[in-house]
Amino acid sequence: MMWKKAIALSCAFLAAGGLTGCGGTTGVPHREDKAAGASSETHMVKKDAKAIVVYFSATGNTKRAAEIIARTKGLDVWEIKPKEPYTDSDLDYTNDNSRVSREHQDRSLMPEIDGDVPGWDSYETVFLGYPIWWGEAPNIVYHFVRSHDFSGKQVIPFCTSHSSGLGDSDVLLEETAKSGEWFPGTRFSGGVSESDLIDWTKHF
């Protein structure tokens, strides 16, 4: 799978905050690059499905959004953590030899994940959160998606960034998963307000 190159690495990482970063049915907006607003296309979400928020966050923006979503909806939450935590030098996108730069250049460099989601098979809906790095989801998110069976699950991707949009990050993750019903993703700004996140959850 080819990587999309960002026009400028600095913009890509500003987009990630400098590495900051379901019975019945309910309508949810199609593709949004911000929390507010809706397009004409909708997808149906199962009501009363057992749901969980799963997320990766390097510097806290996605973590904050994920925890607000989980708290608002009363959902379980699980953080994707690398067994070898990222250091500040690992996250230095200006260094071509830094850990994140090397992972960006080589999709086969998949960070090992610490632990696994308890009771994964019991969940019917998964909110999947991640930051945008170089216009896409980080390798560790691809690793999580590749190593889990999403059959019978509805997946609602959301990401955080300061300036870049969602891009094709949701589509690429769906292609990697090869299973599950993936909804078009939603992008939130790195500093998205709690009220905007709460409003977004009302779609579900």
Q: What number of CA atoms fall less than 13 Å from residue 153's CA on the CB side?
A: 25
Distance CA 37, CA 116 (A): 34
Rounded to whole angstroms, how far apart are CA atoms 58 and 18? 10
**Does residue 16 surpass a pLDDT of 90?**
no
Query: Which tens digit of pLDDT belongs to each residue from 91-147?
Result: 998 899 999 999 989 988 999 999 999 999 999 999 999 999 999 999 999 999 999
Domain boundaries, the chain: 9-201
> Considering just the CA atoms, what is the radius of gyration of the chain in Å?
16
Tell me the sheet residues that pair with 78.
Answer: 54
CB 53, CB 27: distance < 8 Å: no
CATH of domain 9-201: 3.40.50.360
Within its chain, how far is the Cα of 4 from the centroid? 17
Instruction: Output the pTM of the full model.
Output: 0.81
Phi-psi group of 80: left, alpha or beta (phi > 0 → left; psi -120 to 50 → alpha; rest → beta): beta
Q: Which residues pair with 182 in a beta bridge?
A: 155
**pLDDT (0 to 100) of residue 204:** 81
